[in-house]
Chains A and B, each alone.
Chain A
């Protein structure tokens, strides 16, 4: 399956915009990603191993928080998008 890497994190994925991994769950896919590109870990996970609150992970068009989170099943044809949040204001 494919994981789309957002522009700010590509410096940690050898500048690749997408990474192919083999996985059966979202958690496995993300583990495979950080195993291949270890520098991504601290940008995706807190020190205690939880996904950072501002890191949104979508399986196709669904937020995995509203599925089974990292236990969500995936298929080879699926795409995971990693999207840091965008917010602010005066």
Chain B
């Protein structure tokens, strides 16, 4: 279960519309609650894949280092990531799975159709390592 604040949920969908027709990307922070993740904030990031921004994204690790450090100061952990699929369904792709390495974290995808955010889905990266990893559907609960 991914529980996400309304403001963070709205922010990531808005980011998808702003970045259209390019893919947007960012980081989700919060606290673990049992097996679930409670997202209290989101941080938009730049997409460094300027060679193919309509169908690829990559976050500069230097941004991740800063976000991880600043989150730690606020008692927030990195618990997930988000990106958009411009004019494409909100389902994970083979590329998304191949490039996913944060086990136990949520990968949130928003489909943006003709500039408007449509469906937002979340997938949990599970498995014991690179050879058996998989992305599983997980419900999203939007908190007030």
Residue ranges of A at the interface with B (Cβ–Cβ < 8 Å): 4, 6-8, 11, 17, 42-43, 54, 56, 58, 61, 63, 79, 81, 83-90
* Number of B residues with CB within 8 Å of any CB on chain A: 41
Are B62 and A86 in touch, CB under 8 angstroms? no
Are A89 and B61 in touch, CB under 8 angstroms? no
Are B104 and A83 in touch, CB under 8 angstroms? no
Q: Which of B12-20, B95-103, B113-121, B136-144 contacts A (4 or more CB under 8 A)?
A: B95-103
- Looking at chain B's contact residues, is the secondary structure mostly helix, strand, loop, or mixed? mixed
Are A84 and B101 in touch, CB under 8 angstroms? yes
Q: Which residues of A contact B103 (CB under 8 A)?
A: 8
Residue ranges of B at the interface with A (Cβ–Cβ < 8 Å): 23, 25, 27, 49, 52, 55-59, 61-62, 64-66, 68-69, 72, 77-79, 81, 83, 85-86, 88, 92-93, 95-96, 98-105, 107, 125, 129
Q: Which residues of A contact B88 (CB under 8 A)?
A: 90
Bound together, the chains give a CA A85 to CA B86 distance in angstroms of: 22
Bound together, the chains give a CA A42 to CA B132 distance in angstroms of: 14
With both beta carbons as reference points, the residue of chain A lying nearest to B56 in the complex is identified as A89
